[in-house]
Amino acid sequence: MTQAIPDAGTRAPFLVVTADLGERPELHSVGGYISALGVLADYAIALAVYSPDWTQSASEDRTPSFADRLHRMLYISVTRDARAYRHDLLESPKIAVDRLRLASPLETVLTSVASDVKPIGYAVAAMALLKSALGTVMDWQRHRAELRQMDRGGYPDLDPGEGESTRFTDEAFVQLVISEMQERSGIPVRETTSEDLIRAVRRIVSVPVVKVQGDGESASSGHR
pLDDT means per 10 residues in the chain (224 residues)? 34 86 91 94 91 76 80 80 52 81 90 70 89 95 83 53 54 94 93 92 95 73 49
Give the pLDDT confidence score for residue 82 in this predicted structure.
54
Give the pLDDT confidence score for residue 154 in this predicted structure.
52
CA–CA separation, 130 vs 102, rounded Å? Answer: 21
| Long-range contacts of the stretch 125-129 (C-beta < 8 A, 24+) | 125/47, 125/48, 125/51, 125/185, 126/41, 126/44, 126/45, 126/47, 126/48, 126/93, 126/95, 127/13, 127/15, 127/44, 127/95, 127/214, 128/184, 128/214, 129/44, 129/47, 129/48, 129/181, 129/184, 129/185
Give me the torsion for CA of 41, 43, 46, 51, rounded to 10°.
-120
**Exposure string (b/e) for 145-181, b if CB count within 10 Å is 16 or more?**
eebeeeeeeeeeeeeeeeeeeeeeeeeebbbebbeeb
Which residues are within 8 A (CB) of 96 and not within 5 positions of it... i.e. 6 or more apart? 110, 111, 112, 113
Look at residues 13, 213, 212, 43 and name the one whose alpha carbon lies nearest to residue 123: 13
Neighbouring-strand partners of residue 95:
112
- Strands 209-214 and 106-113: what pairing? unpaired
CA–CA separation, 38 vs 25, rounded Å? Answer: 19
- Coil, helix or strand at residue 85: coil
Give the pLDDT confidence score for residue 65 in this predicted structure.
83
Give the pLDDT confidence score for residue 4 in this predicted structure.
32
